[in-house]
Amino acid sequence: METELVYQKEMLLQEFSAKVVEVLDGGTKFLLDRTAFYPASGGIATDTGTVERNGELFKVLGAKKNGSAIVHEADRPGLSVGDEILGKIDWERRSILSRYHTAAHLITGILTTKHGILVTGNQMDVSGGRIDVDWEEFSRENVQKAINEANELIRQDLPVKIYELSREDVVGRPEFVKLAKGLIELPSYRIVEIVGLDAQPDGGCHVPSLGKIGSALEFTGYESKGKRNKRFKFVIRD
Q: What is the DSSP string of 32-101?
A: ESEE-PPPBBTTBPPP-EEEEETTEEEEEEEEEEETTEEEEEESSS---TT-EEEEEE-HHHHHHHHHHH
Last-in-domain residue among 35, 65, 89:
89
Q: Mark whether 137 and 212 lie in a shared domain.
A: yes
How far, in Å, CA of 54 to CA of 115, rounded? 54
pLDDT digits (tens, 9 = 90+) for 132-167: 999 999 999 999 999 999 999 999 999 999 999 999
Last-in-domain residue among 30, 58, 89:
89
Q: Mark whether 76 and 175 lie in a shared domain.
A: no
Last-in-domain residue among 46, 69, 89:
89
Residue 154 DSSP symbol = H
In which band, very low, low, confident or very high, does the pLDDT at 169 lie, cut at 50, 70 and 90? Answer: very high
Please report, for the domain that includes residue 54, its CATH number. Answer: 2.40.30.130
How far, in Å, CA of 164 to CA of 183, rounded? 16
